[in-house]
A and B are shown apart, each in its own frame.
Chain A
Amino acid sequence: AQTVTQSQPEMSVQEAETVTLSCTYDTSENNYYLFWYKQPPSRQMILVIRQEAYKQQNATENRFSVNFQKAAKSFSLKISDSQLGDTAMYFCAFISGDNNDMRFGAGTRLTVKP
């Protein structure tokens, strides 16, 4: 069964600095998709970024980028120029191409300090 591990329960960063959130996953499949979702205090789940396993290029979305290491089964999220509004829980998620059971990590609570 696929598992997703986020080893950092909590992290903090100063405003305007860069922070990296870690995520590892376990799968024997070759076709899968990875996501980072953000959950601010409102509890809404907001998509941050998506990565297809078949793409070698790391996904980027403005200040958010990932470091996808397929062989190491690692999928970290880098947030540049951190803003106060980035304060939230961040969840790493895995979904197979053939199975719609999306698996989530336990989350990392990120606090951006002024």
Chain B
Amino acid sequence: DSGVTQTPKHLITATGQRVTLRCSPRSGDLSVYWYQQSLDQGLQFLIQYYNGEERAKGNILERFSAQQFPDLHSELNLSSLELGDSALYFCASSVPGGGGAGYQETQYFGPGTRLLVL
């Protein structure tokens, strides 16, 4: 158990709908990362938040958005869902970088949310 929690575990919805995925980082971690794992595109970085602020952006669609709240939990919002959005969505967290600029902490992944769009 990594200490990162994600809810729900499974989500089934229809095209055109909107869903919200939730992530709680490990205790003390300030950074939250979101990833998408799909059959055709593999594992892709979507977005990172650090202490409530967006820090980095990857291949995140405009239909997707995220935020991190004062208690450090994060939500990933997926709207106007398409069949191709069906995937496993992971959240990961890491402690604040202790080595200064240019240092990367290890990311610890949650169990994921499996999204199926019908």
Partner pick for A104 among B42, B88, B114, CB 8 A cutoff: B42
Q: Mark A71-98, 1 if CB is under 8 A from B, else 0.
A: 0000000000000000000010001111
Q: Which residues of B are found within 8 Å of A95, using beta-carbon distances?
A: 104
A33 and B111 form a contact (CB under 8 A) = no
Partner pick for B48 among A46, A47, A100, A105, CB 8 A cutoff: A100
Bound form: Cα–Cα A98–B112 in Å: 26
A101 and B58 form a contact (CB under 8 A) = yes
Q: Mark B43-60, 1 if CB is under 8 A from A, else 0.
A: 111001000000110100
Partner pick for A44 among B55, B56, B112, CB 8 A cutoff: B112
A44 and B109 form a contact (CB under 8 A) = yes
Q: Which residues of A are found within 8 Å of B58, using beta-carbon distances?
A: 101
A101 and B45 form a contact (CB under 8 A) = yes
Q: Which residues of B are found within 8 Å of A106, using beta-carbon distances?
A: 42
B107 and A102 form a contact (CB under 8 A) = yes
Interface residues of A in 30-50 (CB under 8 A from B): 31, 33, 35, 37, 42-47, 50
A-B contact count (CB 8 A): 52
Bound form: Cα–Cα A46–B102 in Å: 24
Question: Taking CB as reference atom, which chain A residue is nearest B44?
Answer: A104
Contact of B108 with A by CB under 8 A: yes
What is the CB-to-nearest-CB distance from B53 to chain A, in angstroms, rounded to a whole number? 13
B104 and A33 form a contact (CB under 8 A) = yes
Q: Which residues of A are found within 8 Å of B2, using beta-carbon distances?
A: 44, 46
State the B residues within 8 Å of A (CB). 2, 33, 42-45, 48, 55-56, 58, 88, 90, 92, 101-104, 106-109, 111-112, 114
State the A residues within 8 Å of B (CB). 31, 33, 35, 37, 42-47, 50, 91, 95-107
